[in-house]
Structure 1
Amino acid sequence: MKISVDRSVLLPALSVVGGVVERRQTLPILGNLLLSADDGLLRLKGTDLEIEITSTAVCEVEEAGTATLPARKLTDIARSLPDGTQALIKVQSERGTVVSGRSRFTLSTLPAADFPTMEVPAPEVMVEVDRDVLQRLLDKTSFAMAQQDVRYYLNGVLLELSSDRAVAVATDGHRLAKVVATLDDANPDDSGLATEPRQVIVPAKTVLELKRLLGSAPDRVRVELSERALKVDLGKTQVVSKLVEGQYPDYNRVIPADLERVASIDRDRLRAALQRTAILSNEKYKGVRVTFETGRLLLQTQNPEKEQAEDEIEIEYNGESVSVGFNVAYVLDVLSAVDASTVEVRFKNAENSAVWQGVGAEDEVFVIMPMRL
């Protein structure tokens, strides 16, 4: 294989596929990228056996071929080259060379035949979604997904697709985020979508990679679902991922109903007050006592050193005094996900979960369980 490629084209493509490569590998080949060159295109592929990302870059192909090169070293080399330079990449036998100007780098390779490729079954569902819709679904829910929970089905985002809407849900057992989006009529009848929703659990790493890549994706992206795999076509980039197996809990049962008490709070004032009081909260549990009183909200924190912080802001609330303990970080995450300037909190007492929503955003629901302080 012998190609010439502009640094301004190579580096973005390497950054796209390199994100999936872990620093520590169980197999040496997983530390490499698969490079395939023909017909004026360089195709790059990286994988960790759970997720696979492929991207393309325009290049001059002198000799077509396929090879693998170390992902991080190749990316660092491309990043170190001056803007506007060309890189000549040549792979022969067990050695690869990268030449640019007076700079020359020799890299070890591994056989391209050993590079693992994920099998993608024929899709059962194919749907085109606005990039901004998919970005919103993931951005506003992913913060609530579990991290390395033994309940493996919580380590990701539930994506629920039907003929007219998409729902994303994430929970770690202490909080829950649910966002609903309406799908347009651009999808054909043979998309595989039915009125009965199709549910899949997208792994946490795949969710984070998609969030990273969607910003530079075209306006429309294609989502393909099969029994055990998800494929997202982002134009020059394709993401293939295994799905988390298991039954996701019924999220509707987690969202409390009949919450008779409602408070309206300025989002930015609440965020600032929480950030101030969190300074003296318990570093491990990050708890804050929130007391709803007529016309005002009291916030109190303390730590094992008996240090205390108190703050107070005005709110719209008319009812009896109720004190609830919340994790400060959980509330701040919700406030970051809310676009509206005013947040509505519906609650019952100190023992029940509270529902948080931006005013006018009925399709976004955030649930936070109380904590004992």
Structure 2
Amino acid sequence: MKLTIERAQLLKSLAHVQSVVERRNTIPILSNVKLEGRPGSLSLNATDMDLDIIETAPADVSRPGATTAPAHTFYEIVRKLPDGSQVEIEHDADTGLMTLRSGRSKFTLSCLPVEDFPVLSGGELPFTFCLTAAELKALVDRTRFAISTEETRYYLNGIYLHAATTPGGEVLRAVATDGHRLARVEVTLPEGAAGMPGVIIPRKTVQEMRKLIDETEGEVTVSLSETKLRFAFADAVLTSKLIDGTFPDYERVIPADNDKQLDVDVKSFAQAVDRVSAISTEKSRAIKLSLEKGTVTLSASSPENGSATEEIEAQYESTPLEIGFNSRYLLDILGQVEGDKACFSMADAASPTVVRDGVNAGAIYVLMPMRV
């Protein structure tokens, strides 16, 4: 294999694929990225056996071929080469070495056989549909903050994607929860998604897919089965195994009859929460909201730091109520609200609070209160 490629193109593709490769691997081949030179392009492939990414970059290939090189070392070399440089890559099948030249720099890397590299991207995926990059970004960004990091409840370590029926029609819904907060966001059900199984997309897959969305403007093709999922972008294909578990019945924790309504300006409320929470202890991050007609008073206190209060105007007409929240969880939710207004529906100090977006009716957030 022999080819020449622009450093910027190679670095962009390598940055995506090397992040899938785990730093510590008991299987040597999984530390490598597979390089395949075809006429006009270089394909890069990396996997951790659960997640597989293939990215293609334009290249001037004079001798097609394939090899595998140490992913992180290769990435570090390319990252440190000067901007605008051309990179020449040559693999000698006899010695098993890959030579990388750029300007006056020359690097030699030892390679492993291509035949040892595992293939994850095959298999039947019966359901296929397209989402715009903006729709996929909204589904991911507005839910991923609530993904659980608790490994014992592995079925919560991802985003639950499924088709649902609502009074307004069929929707594609993304849900994530860690037991303290829940995020549920939906878009109109795309053609081809009807009848799809509910799938749990692992946290790492969500992170890698999110990086690729930023560089995509058109549509993303999603294909899935009950065990596997594939996202096809313009120059990259991400294939992932799914979490084998049952996502809990999240509808049961979304209260339908909370009768106390609080409407606040998102920006001023979030700033007040942020300021007052500077006093709260690092462990609990507790903040108290005292609701009266027309106002909400935020307060926090800790034995080490003292106390803080701030009053802001709000639309509230119900009986007075005091309720406590984890300020970081509250800020996470407020950060997802698209409009200027956030609508809180509460029952009492011990029941889950529902937060709705003033402009996006398809987004609902649930936050568990805490004792303050």
The answer, yes or no, to whether TM exceeds 0.5 is yes
Farther off after superposition, 157-166 or 259-268: 157-166
Q: Per the alignment, in what secondary structure is the counterpart of residue 278 of structure 2?
A: helix
Name the structure 2 match of 1:173.
179
**Unpaired runs of at least 5, structure 2:** none
Alpha-carbon separation, structure 1, partners of 2:303 and 2:111: 55
Alpha-carbon separation, structure 1, partners of 2:147 and 2:51: 18
Considering only aligned residues, what root-mean-square deviation do their CA atoms show, in Å? 1.5
Alpha-carbon separation, structure 2, partners of 1:43 and 1:119: 14
Alpha-carbon separation, structure 1, partners of 2:312 and 2:335: 19
Name the structure 1 match of 2:54.
54
How big is the shift at 1:280? 1.0
Name the structure 1 match of 2:81.
81
Q: Per the alignment, in what secondary structure is the counterpart of residue 280 of structure 1?
A: coil
Name the structure 2 match of 1:65.
65
User: What does 1:121-140 correspond to in 2, within 5 Å?
Assistant: 121-140=123-142
Name the structure 2 match of 1:108.
110
The answer to whether 1:3 aligns with 2:9 is: no
Quick one: which of 143, 146, 149 aligns to 1:147?
149
The answer to whether 1:41 aligns with 2:47 is: no
Closer, same or farther: CA 303–120 of 1 in aligned 2, 3 Å: farther
User: What does 1:225-236 correspond to in 2, within 5 Å?
Assistant: 225-236=224-235
Q: Which amino acid aligns with 1:4?
A: T
Q: Which amino acid aligns with 2:176?
A: A
TM-score (norm 2): 0.95
The superposition leaves residues 177-205 of structure 1 with CA deviations (integer Å, 9 ceiling, x where unpaired) of 00010135xx3xxx3x43x5531000011
The superposition leaves residues 227-264 of structure 1 with CA deviations (integer Å, 9 ceiling, x where unpaired) of 21000100210000000011111111110111110011
Contact kept, 8 Å, 2:280 with 2:305, in 1: the verdict is no
User: What does 1:286-301 correspond to in 2, within 5 Å?
Assistant: 286-301=285-300
Alpha-carbon separation, structure 1, partners of 2:77 and 2:173: 42
TM-score (norm 1): 0.94
Closer, same or farther: CA 162–232 of 1 in aligned 2, 3 Å: farther
Contact kept, 8 Å, 1:290 with 1:300, in 2: the verdict is yes
How big is the shift at 1:360? 3.1
How big is the shift at 1:49? 1.2
How big is the shift at 1:13? 1.0
Q: Which amino acid aligns with 2:181?
A: R
**Unpaired runs of at least 5, structure 1:** none
How big is the shift at 1:306? 5.8
Q: Which amino acid aligns with 2:99?
A: T
The answer to whether 1:28 aligns with 2:25 is: no
Contact kept, 8 Å, 2:338 with 2:359, in 1: the verdict is no
Contact kept, 8 Å, 1:124 with 1:227, in 2: the verdict is no
Closer, same or farther: CA 181–303 of 1 in aligned 2, 3 Å: same
Closer, same or farther: CA 162–42 of 1 in aligned 2, 3 Å: farther
Q: Per the alignment, in what secondary structure is the counterpart of residue 279 of structure 1?
A: coil
Alpha-carbon separation, structure 2, partners of 1:27 and 1:3: 28
Contact kept, 8 Å, 1:218 with 1:234, in 2: the verdict is no
Alpha-carbon separation, structure 1, partners of 2:352 and 2:76: 48
Contact kept, 8 Å, 1:159 with 1:202, in 2: the verdict is yes
Q: Which amino acid aligns with 1:89?
A: I
Percent of aligned pairs sharing the same letter: 38
Alpha-carbon separation, structure 1, partners of 2:171 and 2:129: 11
Farther off after superposition, 172-181 or 58-67: 58-67
Q: Which amino acid aligns with 1:72?
A: H
User: What does 1:1-373 correspond to in 2, within 5 Å?
Assistant: 1-92=1-92, 93-161=95-163, 164-183=170-189, 187=191, 191=192, 193-194=193-194, 196=195, 198-305=197-304, 307-373=306-372
Alpha-carbon separation, structure 1, partners of 2:43 and 2:308: 56
How big is the shift at 1:223? 0.4
